[in-house]
Amino acid sequence: MRNKITIIGAGNVGATTALYCAIKELGDIVLIDIIEGMPEGIALDMSQVSSMLNFDVKITGSNDMCDMKGSDIVVITAGLPRKPGMDRLDLLKKNADIVTNICENIKKYAPNSIVIVVTNPVDTLTYLTMKLTELPAKHVIGKAGVLDSARFAYFIAEELNISIRDVSPMVLGGHGDSMLPIPRLTTVNGIPITDLLPKDKITAICERTKAGGAEIVKLLKKGSAYYAPGAATATMITAILFDQRRILPCSVYVDGQYGLSDLYIGLMTTVGMKGVEKIHEIKLTDEELKELHQSAEVYKKSIKDLGY
């Protein structure tokens, strides 16, 4: 029996995630959306690509939440996208209502699944998902750091005019303006980028990484990024279903790590078939630790805004 992956929200991010998962043959895929006919149409179109891209999994679309029953992985992408000028936290109240309804159905139909939250603001909504589904914290993971690190890596490779394959980036903190790229621990084939780039260039790249999503939103004018978010989500799903035990930056529940507790924030984690198997506490400088705590304060406040 193949793994079952349910993606709730068949918009650009959900559909792109589904296609990447299909190409990797990670399992049978169910796309669920409230728009009548939309997930079915996307699933049919995607299925007709299978002979050309050489994958053999079943892709179905549905408007009924009960079709997530028995899922190994549930991905939440449903929600409103950012518009130019909006911060991820501007979406909090509206998307929290959407996620609340989804969580009730996960609890009912897929209580043994591992849930990956993509909907923004992801760190806060991952916390909400953990609370409402009552799943173990290690089974509820936010997609954030994998995407932010990928953007960081791309900007570094572009600046140095080198292969991106040699770049190993590190980004901690929340998925927003308060995220924390760590240049001294970001390397090019083992060489710290602090040895390869001047400070002003590194600062500019870090700032561009923090605004990576906003830059795309501004260019698109309608909607937000989906190719890279979809690939980041598929990377996490692969690590879980293949029990790869990869060390990935994810939004995870902290319970004392770095002096933080009772919130979700991006940290380096070992990800495998049990979900978050370990949170790695890296030795940070005093300034880096201060910035991580400043990032956490943003999400502490937004959690309070939701009444927790």
Question: For residue 201, which amino acid is it?
Answer: K
Q: What is the pTM of this model?
A: 0.96
Q: Where are the domains of the chain?
A: 4-142, 145-305
d(CA 136, CA 255): 13
Task: Measure the CA angle with vertex 8, ends 3 and 9; round to 5°.
Answer: 135
Question: Which one-letter DSSP state was computed for residue 48?
Answer: T
- Each residue's pLDDT expressed in tens, for the chain with a length of 308 residues: 899 999 999 999 999 999 999 999 999 999 999 999 999 999 999 999 999 999 999 999 999 999 999 999 999 999 987 677 766 567 888 899 999 999 999 999 999 999 999 999 999 999 999 999 999 999 999 998 999 999 999 999 999 999 999 999 999 999 988 999 999 999 999 999 999 999 999 999 999 999 999 999 999 998 899 999 999 999 999 999 999 999 999 999 999 999 999 999 999 999 999 999 999 999 999 999 999 999 999 999 999 989 88
Question: Which one-letter DSSP state was computed for residue 89?
Answer: G
Question: Exposure pattern of 228-238 as b/e (b: 16+ CB <10 Å)?
Answer: bbbebbbbbbb
DSSP string, 194-226: GGTS-HHHHHHHHHHHHTHHHHHHHHHSSS---
d(CA 45, CA 21): 15
Q: 139, 175, 280, 293: which is the annotated catalytic residue?
A: 175
Superfamily of structural domain 4-142? NAD(P)-binding Rossmann-like Domain (3.40.50.720)
DSSP element (H, E) containing 59: strand 59-62
Domains 4-142 and 145-305 share a fold: no
Is there a catalytic annotation at residue 280? no
List of residues 6+ apart from 207 with CB closer than 8 A = none
Contact call for residues 39 and 63 (beta carbons, < 8 A)? yes
CATH number of 145-305: 3.90.110.10
d(CA 21, CA 5): 9
